[in-house]
Amino acid sequence: MKKGYPLAARLGAVILGFESIVMLLGGLFIFGMKATPAGIEPWWGIVAGGVMAVLMIVVAGMCRFQVGIIAGWILQFVVLAGAFLNLAFVIVAAVFGGMWAYAMITSARIARQAPSAAQNTEGD
């Protein structure tokens, strides 16, 4: 990312980037293990994982704007809602949702304490 982006944008983009990989692999897992509830075809696992991965990559690029941060929160809740379809997503939601919440809360605190440290970092 370019120099001067807020800390929340940098951290959010990294978290969503890695989470997109996990979502794609999670979709493949659901397809391969046929771990969908009765009445839902297993190939929907690949579709859902792929759509979530693409959405997370798009939102990672939007994190420098406030709408990107809000969309990131929404995606974290969508992952948590995926736990109703497969309980394994509780772990994904806990890990990445926890990292997302910590990054957003901590970066806001840092921005309040030292605005110049959150806006411009030397050595990037």
Q: What is the pTM of this model?
A: 0.84
Mean pLDDT confidence for 12-18: 97
Residue 1 has a pLDDT of: 43
Radius of gyration of the chain from its Cα atoms, rounded to whole angstroms: 16
- Provide the 8-state DSSP code for 37: P
Torsions phi, psi of 51, nearest 5? Answer: -65, -45
**Count of beta carbons in the 10 Å neighbourhood of residue 106:** 13
Residue 84 has a pLDDT of: 87
Q: Express each pLDDT in 57-82 by its tens digit.
A: 999 999 999 999 999 999 999 999 99
Residue 116 has a pLDDT of: 61
3-state secondary structure of 1: coil
Q: Express each pLDDT in 24-52 by its tens digit.
A: 999 999 999 998 888 989 999 999 999 99
Q: Express each pLDDT in 70-120 by its tens digit.
A: 999 999 999 999 988 888 899 999 999 999 999 999 999 988 887 565 556
